[in-house]
Amino acid sequence: MNSLVKDPIKRKIFILVVLFIIVAFSILGSKIFMDNIISYFQKRTSNTESLLNLNQVIYRHVMLIQRDFDLLISSNYNLGDDTEEQKSIKSSLNEIRIVLNNIEYGGSYDYNYFDDFSIYSAGTKLIHFTQISNFDTSKYINVFTGSLIRLEEISNELNDILENNDREASTSILQRYAKEVNLIIQTSNNAILNFHKDIMTYKYHISQSMMAQLDKYNLIRYVGLLVIGLISLIIFITTFLQISNIIEERNKTMIDLDKLNHSLLKELEVAENVQAYLKPQWLVLDENLIFSATYTPSKKIGGDFSDTITISDDKYVTYVGDISSHGVQAALIMSAVKATINMVIESEKDNLQPHYIIRRINNIISKELFPNNYLTLLICLIDIKERIVTYYNAGQPPIITFNKATRKTNIVYEKGSVPIGWRSDYIYSEEEENTIELTDDTIIFLFSDGIYQCRNSNNEQLDLESFSSFISDNFDEDRQVILSHMLKNSLIEKGYTISSDDFTLVSFWQRKKEDSPSSQLTLMRSLLTNTKDIGAFSEQFVLKNQNENFELAMQVELIVNEFLNNIIVHGLRSKSDTVILFKMELADELILTFWDKGITWDIPNKLPGQDPFANKDDWDTSGRGIPIIYSLTSKVFRKRLDEVNETVMYIPLSGNMEQFYD
């Protein structure tokens, strides 16, 4: 109802519906009115028909009386059998009296009617009659009443004569009575005929009057409907034009809104790119620690944030936070909050204590940034020398630890405190800090509450216990360096949605002091890095581990240079997160693995026996990178894991490269 009041189009449509109802009711009402008028006239006409039927009943009974008197008076009549005729005369006289009473006072009369072939009854008929106020029946009733009285007297006198059985005396009297009866019957028939004429005349006048009145009422009806129709048509056209104007205005507004929306989307893309620069790198490969982080906002930009800050050679700070809103507002507040947190950490670098950092942040942003919002924050101080993680949890989900040796997870339910911004005077104390031992096999997970919003295809929510089990079940040591992205990708593959809320997952663990001689990780931190240097580094790795196999070293250098150039040119264009991780590992073959966060692009398929350089002009140097890689490798795989591309290449340690085409 509220939308009907506010929306002008809905109001106009409501007016048209009401107008349609009014027109429909007008047509229906006028029809009902005319039906009632016609019914009234039909009732009056039916009274005249009933009166004609009653007059006909009188006539038929008069004829029966004449027949019966003729039988009584006939000279051939057997004087001993007069009972039935006398009874018939009395019955007819009585029926005429009943009919006259109906004519005078109204009512119903059920009588036997005759067919066209016999004067005897052929059925019954019920006649309903209501008195007609302006039609005089009294003079006819008086005539019929007088005739009935005299006929009854004659019937009684004849009865006395016939009982004396004096035939000669009776003959002359009977002849006199016969003449008198014929005269009475003639008088009655004349009255019946005049009564019939008067009824027909009255019926004609009623019909004429009815037709005149019906014409008048029909004229009123059609004029009224015409007026209503014209008014309705004017209102309809006016309302339709108004709706058309509103729609036209809305279309113009929609065009303007589309332009504004397009402009806002562009601004959001800019904001998204700006926020991408504020996000930490998806992978931090430090001398002591490895950090793997993934972040997906519920919209283009969001309010989750995290960062890792190097304090000294053996101390680090990492944190995960969440602003209590979404979208642009959360992103703007997040930028200010993150800058504030980093400023506080930098100012307290010489005496870092998580509870004190939280307290200072609360004092600063509660008064300046959070009149209607709050912030949850989990901040960790990592001490490599002491092998301890000291942390403070202000409203974030608890930490989960994972032991690679036992493949068991543990939800660290320890002390915590209220979110930042709830109370500006709240004292975050040292007693609320927690510690975790950092062993060689320990992986620590920090995450936002977006984890709890993940639901599978059965609408089952991923709670804390389920997520802890999920880590154990889906840990892949070969992809440990991209652990957070790998777990997020596994969630998506198992049907979980992760877009209901901002999703942040950070994992970190202690790095071994020395890489294995047969395995080496290299991190490219910028697009400005010279790929030839990485190629030279890979060449030295092969020479060192493969007894100075110069042929293999040259092949590896060529593959690395060609592929890195493809990533930079095709995959990382217009990307802010340009870290590329490169791993070399010696097994039965030399395995090269690249991880990058570029756009999605697939390596063209290499068919068995196909010449990689088919259809290539000898002087055309473009587009030869992938054919070169195919010609020098036995297998190449490329897969998308969340936002990270994983490319794996297998290079035979010796022999003719062509035999490894597949």
* CATH number of the structural domain spanning residue 301: 3.60.40.10
| Contact (CB, 8 A) for 590 and 654 | no
Q: What total of structural domains would you count in the chain?
A: 3
Q: Using one digit for the tens of pLDDT, what is the confidence trace for 25-68?
A: 888 887 887 777 777 777 777 788 888 888 888 998 899 888 88
The pLDDT confidence band at residue 115, using thresholds 50, 70 and 90, is: low
Q: Are residues 176 and 295 in the same domain?
A: no
Of the candidates 493, 510, 527, which is a domain's last residue? 510
Instruction: Taking residues 539-546, report their average pLDDT.
Output: 82
| Contact (CB, 8 A) for 592 and 651 | yes
How high does pLDDT run on average in the chain?
Answer: 80
pLDDT of residue 661: 41
The pLDDT confidence band at residue 231, using thresholds 50, 70 and 90, is: confident
Which residue, among 380, 419, 426, has the nearest Cα to 399 in the 3D structure? Answer: 380
Q: What is the signed CA dihedral for 389, 395, 397, 402, rounded to 10 degrees?
A: 10
| Contact (CB, 8 A) for 439 and 387 | yes
pLDDT of residue 3: 57
pTM score above 0.85? no
Q: Are residues 132 and 205 in the same domain?
A: yes
Q: Flag whether 254 is in a domain.
A: no
Distance (Å, rounded) from C-alpha 247 to C-alpha 182? Answer: 92
Distance (Å, rounded) from C-alpha 492 to C-alpha 495? Answer: 5
The type of residue at 620 is D
Q: Flag whether 473 is in a domain.
A: yes
Which residue, among 481, 421, 89, has the nearest Cα to 284 in the 3D structure? Answer: 481
Distance (Å, rounded) from C-alpha 430 to C-alpha 534? Answer: 46
Q: What angle do CA 175, 177, 179 make, to 5 degrees?
A: 70
Distance (Å, rounded) from C-alpha 315 to C-alpha 436? Answer: 15
Q: How many whole angstroms from its chain centre is CA 640?
A: 35
Q: Are residues 33 and 167 in the same domain?
A: yes
> End-to-end distance of the chain based on CA atoms, in angstroms?
69
φ, ψ dihedrals at 617, nearest 5°: -70, 135
Q: Are residues 230 and 293 in the same domain?
A: no
Of the candidates 490, 510, 530, which is a domain's last residue? 510
Q: Are residues 505 and 537 in the same domain?
A: no
**Share in percent of the chain as helix, strand, coil (round to 5):** 55, 20, 25
Q: Are residues 476 and 338 in the same domain?
A: yes
pLDDT of residue 546: 79
Q: Using one digit for the tens of pLDDT, what is the confidence trace for 117-155?
A: 455 556 778 888 888 877 888 888 888 888 888 888 888
Q: Are residues 523 and 500 in the same domain?
A: no
Of the candidates 189, 215, 242, which is a domain's last residue? 242
pLDDT of residue 382: 95
The pLDDT confidence band at residue 273, using thresholds 50, 70 and 90, is: low
Q: Could you tell me the residue range of the domain that residue 301 belongs to?
A: 279-510
Q: Flag whether 273 is in a domain.
A: no
* Residue 619 pLDDT > 70: no
Residue 453's CB: how many other CB atoms inside 10 A? 18
pLDDT of residue 658: 47
Q: Are residues 554 and 524 in the same domain?
A: yes
Which segments within 98-165 are labelled E, that is strand? 107-114, 121-129
Q: Flag whether 260 is in a domain.
A: no
Q: Which of 17-21, 118-122, 476-480, 485-489 has the lowest average pLDDT?
A: 118-122
| Contact (CB, 8 A) for 259 and 449 | no
pLDDT of residue 276: 58
Q: Flag whether 456 is in a domain.
A: yes
pLDDT of residue 400: 94
pLDDT of residue 500: 66
Q: Are residues 361 and 434 in the same domain?
A: yes
* Residue 449 pLDDT > 60: yes
Q: Flag whether 364 is in a domain.
A: yes
Q: Using one digit for the tens of pLDDT, what is the confidence trace for 370-399?
A: 666 788 999 999 999 999 999 999 999 999
